[in-house]
Amino acid sequence: MLVTELEDYMLPCLNKKLFGFECLGCGLQRSIALLLRGEIVESFLMYPGLYTLIALFGFIGVNTFKNFKKGNKIITILAIVNVAVIVGSYLLKLYLK
């Protein structure tokens, strides 16, 4: 199966190997693999920022072809929400361990 094959090629976190703590992107690859397997809740728990990334890049893709009036404002808001979710979940992960 494609997901199993993808898991064989996941990159290790260089930040974690060198410095001993996770980076802001740790869990993204595993979260994508879980989402592709259909494990939506587990994927969210692994990396909540994946869903805001999907929304952001999805809107950017749609806005490329159908130029919305307030597209730039929506992209800015989605980017801010995305950064807030990623940083917030990272800080929670750090302090709850």
Domain count, the chain: 2
Residues 53 and 92 in one domain: yes
92 closest CA partner among 52, 49, 56: 49
Pair 43, 50: CB distance under 8 Å: yes
Residues 43 and 17 in one domain: yes
- List pLDDT tens digits, range 42-80: 999 999 999 999 999 999 999 999 988 999 999 999 999
Q: Is 31 helix (H, G, I), strand (E, B) or coil?
A: helix
Domain that holds residue 59: 48-97
Alpha-carbon Rg for the chain in angstroms: 15
- List pLDDT tens digits, range 23-47: 888 888 889 989 988 999 999 999 9
- C-alpha distances out from residue 66 to 11, 44, 70, Å: 35, 29, 12
